[in-house]
A and B are shown apart, each in its own frame.
Chain A
Amino acid sequence: MIATTLGHWALTLSLVISIYGLVASVLGARQRVPELVRSGRNAIIAVAGLATVASACLLFLLLTRNYQVKYVYDTVSSYLPTIYVVSAFYAGQEGSMLLWMWLLAIFGAVVVVRKRSWNEELLPYVAAVVAGVAAFFALLLVNMSSPFELLPMNPGEGLGLNPLLENPGMIYHPPTLFIGYAAYTIPFAYAIAALVTGRLGSGWVRGIRLWSLFAWLSLGIGILLGAQWAYVELGWGGYWAWDPVENASAIPWFVGTAFLHSVMMQERRGMFKRWNIVLATLTFVLCVFATFVTRSGLIQSVHAFGQSPLGYYFLAFLAVVLGLVISLMLYRREEMLSTRQIRAFLSREFSLMVAILALVGIALAVLLGTLYPTLAELLTGRQISVGTGFYSRIFSPLGAAAMFIIAVCPLLAWGQSSSRRVLHALVIPALVALAFGVALLVAGVGPGHAVFGFSMCLFVLVSILIEFGRGWLARKRMTGEPYAVAFLRLVNKNHRRYGGYLVHLAIVIMAAGVVGSSVYKTDTTLSMRPGESVPVQGYTLQYRDFQIQPLPAKQRFAVTLDVSRGNRYLGAMVADKNFHWNVEQWVTEVAIRPGLVEDLYVILSGLDESGLATLAIQTHPMVTWLWIGGGILLFGTAWAMWPRSRERRSARRTK
């Protein structure tokens, strides 16, 4: 078979070439041999090309449904829609690793091709690190989990994708996450390059600004898409269940958020050089960890370690990375001292430091909770599970602290601020939040911690809006421009500041959604016969009809309900529950009526021949706020990444 041979050889060759690229780049840079450096650069581009060839081969095998290839047999079947055949590319461990490597090689190629004068000296080492990581993945792909492995004969039909994965979420969620994971290799590569060359100033930080924002955004959006997917598929416990696979993707995001903020400290203040190296490394390592956790089942059970050597490869990789970083940091410990110190508590430096600590704290707590069952099983042999209670106890106080810092930090100036001024700036948000909280309590909305959560969100929201307003008025006063012009010019002159504020705004909106949806969720289980009408949570549900229907891939059970509120007819909702033949498994398709205040969420639990249906009717308040916040997050980050006109001009000049 041409495609398997070609794919296999492309991977083998990319292993050889990436090892060569690593050696050539390092030797070339150390001995100052430009030919070798250039050749190492070409090696990265060649690996990107080879990984593309291998990916194209796998895609071709999937699309032509060549079941003799084990990976295709495992993930595709003849009645799987084509779009999910494409998504089967990353449904298994082999394909995921290929996708990782492909994205990494592409990003690496973009970095080496788009060179700038200030990173000339760093670049060979960046290329070397990218080549090294690519070599690791190529080694795994060639040596132990090849997507091109053949079965002894062609089975004629494949097992197919797990029906739970047949959801639009499968198309968007994994690739977005993987883009984030792979992109975090670039900041790590720059960190190593900075350590090796000793150029620990702001040059390397500058090289990764866009990359770290891009990776952070992809990871964040990927997580949200996953949450949305979990929300619409039943049995995964709403949008977030703190399960190990979800946690694994959230941990690097928290550390990455801390990294974004500590980078700012180095760029503007020459501080936190060590933190930046550590956080860049941690984020990268956690991204690789997340990939392994998701695809190898390492965390669910320690036994997975024994079953495949993948875990040992990962541990070896981890040891190499950490050993390298720690020894380089020891070697460069003198150069990493800060040029400035934090001078005052009421300064942006100090509040950023607290924010970074809080974020790393959250990440560590989640990591601990995720690993604890595995470690406990390893040590004591007993199975323990860490429930949602642990996470909410950890997360609520740290989250509230983080929110408070979001409100205060932008009010503080670099260097120092006077307490009078800061208090003055906080008076209005605090009064508004207090009034809101009291009003909620008087109106009988409880419980106390939810009211506190909402008030906190409002406090932050008002302080961000005031911050926008003050900048706006200041600009208006300074320039005398009309209001609209002044506003647009203000946010356009300072993309990073105002993009950042927008992201903070998005976080606040999402936090309010989290508080609302976790506190006020309602759940009613009832049985209905066709034609019956039942009032639930202010809605009236009228059972219209039902369907029991055999389809090629599944047996379909469906109930149609007419929903109205008061006298207003809201529409029909169809709740499905299907039995899939190939995996002999029930999959529930929830009916959701989204709204700003609350989503109506109908689960079909059972349906018999007579039409007697057992339904779970739930309301999920404010879940939509999460998705709205996600949209603002996307926009705000894109705004912060957008180059300013001066940077665009200077980029043109240097060309």
Chain B
Amino acid sequence: MKDTNNFPLFSTYEFNPKLYDELFNENNKIREIYKTLYDLFSSYSVEEYNRLNTQAKASFFNLGITFQVYGEKEVKEQIFPFDLFPRIINNKEWTTIEKGVLQRSKALNLFLWDLYHDQKIIKQGIVPLDLINSSVNFLPQMKGLDPPEGIYNHISGTDLIKHSDGNYYVLEDNIRCPSGVSYVVGNRNAVKHTLFGVFNQYNAHTVVDYGSKLLETMESVKPKGVDAPVCVIITPGVYNSAYYEHSFLAKQMGVVLVEGRDLFVENNFVYMRTIYGPEKVDVIYRRVDDLFIDPLVFRKDSMLGVPGLFSAYQKGNVTLINAPGTGVADDKAVYTYMPQIIKYYLDEEPILNNVHTYHCSRKDELSYVLENVDKLVIKPVDESGGYGISIGNRLTKEEIETVKKTIIAEPRKYIAQPIMSLSTHPTYIEGNESFESRHVDLRTFTLLGKDIDFVLKGGLTRVALKKGNLIVNSSQGGGSKDTWVLKK
């Protein structure tokens, strides 16, 4: 037992010295940046902390920052698991992260333009044609189309981890409908209310400016000939698990939150049905997936979209955020080419590291993967939410054989990466009434508009609540933390 285990809230805190623990350094000393916070937490009794924790959770519940679980008869509301111990990122590290995620978002944007136009990067043999041809997220309807101001991925969410070497690595780029930003603000409010004394002693950047920056971004990409654009957010509806976020963003920006059934298209212009009749809509932040946005062009059975929306978009009468077809570039197989993509379009070296990736579509790499499944993480290229991931060292012999068979059946569908050791962070485990180290990652939020490059100074630190678990996604039982980016 270490000295630190004497404090009631740290009675069972252990960390693996082979990993990067964000609270303790390798000599079991508190890292300087966390000292004030640690002093505060170690002064609490379990009862005191439980009371604070309960209050914080009640505030989420009362504010309706929840998702719904549909049972047979009744609907249950649940809050997303939330941890009060904030994650701190110093200014120097943040500067690198910020530059790095912007670089990636810009490179991806140029990549998308190229893919839907001349495909020079393919013609020059830097990215294989097969990568695009076999991607279900490549939308042929987008070929030759020029989105306003040339921007495809107005909103990007980049997932980063801190490896045992102390460096940040990018795990994924999300440029379809990245979610989670409302929790950044929700978590910050809860932490400020609960830990106001200590929050004061850290000079952290605010996160409340996201809404106004997002609105600026939306307005900056208005269709040609529009003076004061009418911006809306389209949501699949109250039953969607991210409905809270949709309504939160609409309120933050003061724009209308619509559903597909509130909109209609006439002569290739989009209108919403208001109490005084139709009103033209110019910019739509859509939280409806590509295949659902327009039943005339994509999935015919979609009830979430608007018939004719895509043709209005083609005519340049409405802007969609993000542009349709961005999914082709956040494919996990494309990810592996990111260093080359950055180099090709920006003539720069990547600022953030990529995790080395093996393509199962390549014969030699496939045989390496098949021989080393136990040392690798196997991921399907086109899934999100942490689904379908196999972590090699957690599998039984039989499971490894099953995974091998699945890969052989569809090698294009899988990539493999070395098992990265996500850093660990103190997280309160209610069952043990103590903080324990748990794996965390970080999702940053980047906005690209006409003359706008913005990275939210903060982000969503996601934490895997199960001991040793590396998958932090909320759909897999992960929680989240407030993230403090320090000004100095």
Q: Do A and B bind each other?
A: no
